[in-house]
Amino acid sequence: MENRLDKNMSKIKVIKTEEDYKEALKLLEDLMRGDPDPDSEEGEQLSLLSTLIQDYETRVFPETLPDPIDAIKFRMEQVGLTQSDLIPYIGSRSRVSEILSGKRQLTLEMVRALEAGLGIPAKVLIRKPDSGENYEYQNWDNRLVVEMETRGYFGNAPLKKYSKLDLLKNFFSSIDSSAQLVGMLRKSNYRSSPLTDKHALTAWAIWVSKKAKKVKTLKGYKHGTIDLDFMQKLVKLSTKENSPILAQEYLKEYGIILIIEPHFSKTYLDGATILINKDNPIIGLTLRYDRLDNFWFTLIHELAHIARHYDSGISLFYDEIEGIKIIDIDEKEREADALAEEVLLPRAKWEVSPARLVPSSMAANSLAQELGVHVAIIAGQIRHKGNKYVYLNKIVNEAKARKCFPDIKWNK
């Protein structure tokens, strides 16, 4: 433990360059994964690193002030206030309602009272409330927009020449209407950390959808095609060379489009299911962890969403599956997890396997041969089911997935 602490401390430094910034974000993710106690040494490292990152972002990325009404509502939620509690600062109950609904603007007296009483900066409160599409785009974090530009999401249009607002409007122009975009976001199902940037998830999903539009399929997806047998047949491809590519081609024959796109900074996304176009469901994977077992579990998990939740009324499922501690997992995610685990390592086989008692490479290989799947998948399931992540590291870490997609620029 001390060696790891010393190693982390040696990496923590003042952030001066974009390369330093990327390294700091990666180290931040590593520290967060351990969910350290705030009073522990690693907790102090996490706090220090967060401060350094915030300092760099403040210097490099211009500040975007929040909408004044959003700022008031956030402060109310933060300290547990009701609308009645705002009466001393704003006036009558009806006046409070008018302010919070955007029907009336704040007066100078209200601004002074709210700044003194609730600690909301006057520079935020005196802004004219934004509305509609422009507000939605202006509220996007500047550093996210910079990363989108770096990834080529804006084509040849640079931030130096065009405004953030213009670039984002153009980026979303492929969506049929802004109403569809809003509806899509409201019908999303998130399995994610509260630290995740939801705008980054949206940008990622839109880009995956754009890439999927370029994929030609011969037929549409027929609901009911994906079941336990379908997925177990698919996962047997894992034993072959370049199995991720084979899976991509196999799914396309059934009208399902598989897209690989790396995750954004400040997101911990493993995969997503996009059901905007029911004729051609889209699965996006990030390969956040360059491991074959992670590829296959995430893919089967997303296929389970299509099998179980195709007609649920939800357009997107965002899944941060590995390495992030999620406290509240809803029933749909439990269903997808359970089906994926049954596909990869059936419960009946697991309960009678020697691997359940002795997580050895010999037991993993024997079980993999019996099921006809790659041994890395079985090793990953053994580690997960038995909560024995110190075992079978060599098998899991040597089987890579990113090499099948050499044209993609991977995050360092």
Chain segment 231-286, per-residue pLDDT in tens: 999 999 999 999 999 999 999 999 999 999 999 987 889 999 998 888 999 999 99
Residue 186, CA distances (Å) to 179, 259, 275 in order: 11, 23, 13
Residue 228, CA distances (Å) to 127, 296, 393, 405 in order: 55, 15, 28, 27
Quote the domain boundaries for residue 81: 68-129
Strands 316-319 and 271-274: antiparallel
Residues 228 and 85 in one domain: no
Of the candidates 40, 60, 80, which is a domain's last residue?
Answer: 60
Nearest Cα to Cα of residue 279 among 224, 219, 226, 221:
221
Q: Is residue 113 part of a domain?
A: yes
- Separation of alpha carbons 89 and 102, rounded Å: 16
Q: Is residue 168 part of a domain?
A: no
Answer for the pair 226, 215: CB distance below 8 angstroms, yes or no. no
Tell me, what's the pLDDT at 315? Answer: 82
Residue reference for tokens 């109950």: 93
Residues 36 and 110 in one domain: no
Q: Is residue 141 part of a domain?
A: no
Residue reference for tokens 């403040």: 58
Answer for the pair 399, 292: CB distance below 8 angstroms, yes or no. yes
Tell me, what's the pLDDT at 348? Answer: 94
Residues 294 and 399 in one domain: yes
Residues 103 and 246 in one domain: no
274: left (phi over 0), alpha (psi -120 to 50) or beta: beta
How do the residues of the chain divide into helix, strand and coil, expressed in percent and rounded to 5? Answer: 55, 5, 40
Tell me, what's the pLDDT at 68? Answer: 82
CB atoms within 10 A of CB 211: 15
- For residue 197, the Cα-to-chain-centroid distance in whole angstroms is 8
Tell me, what's the pLDDT at 3? Answer: 47
Please name the residues in contact with 176: beta carbons below 8 A apart, sequence gap of 6 or more.
none
- Identify the residue with better confidence: 27 or 95: 95
Q: Is residue 329 part of a domain?
A: yes
- The rounded mean pLDDT for the chain is 83
Q: Is residue 280 part of a domain?
A: yes
pLDDT reading at 63 higher than 70: no
Residues 286 and 338 in one domain: yes
Q: Is residue 114 part of a domain?
A: yes
The number of distinct structural domains making up the chain is: 3
CATH classification at residue 118: 1.10.260.40
Handedness of CA 103, 106, 110, 115 (dihedral sign): positive
Tell me, what's the pLDDT at 294? Answer: 95
pLDDT reading at 324 higher than 80: no
Choose the weakest-confidence range: 285-289, 294-298, 385-389: 385-389
Q: Is residue 56 part of a domain?
A: yes
Residues 106 and 242 in one domain: no
Tokens of 379: 């090793």
Q: Is residue 160 part of a domain?
A: no
Residues 292 and 332 in one domain: yes
pLDDT reading at 341 higher than 70: yes
Of the candidates 36, 60, 84, which is a domain's last residue?
Answer: 60
Strands 257-260 and 188-191: unpaired
Residues 86 and 54 in one domain: no
Residues 35 and 85 in one domain: no
- Separation of alpha carbons 249 and 336, rounded Å: 23
Tokens of 240: 């072959």
Residues 115 and 77 in one domain: yes
Binned at pLDDT 50, 70 and 90, residue 2 comes out as: very low
Of the candidates 81, 97, 129, which is a domain's last residue?
Answer: 129
Answer for the pair 81, 90: CB distance below 8 angstroms, yes or no. no
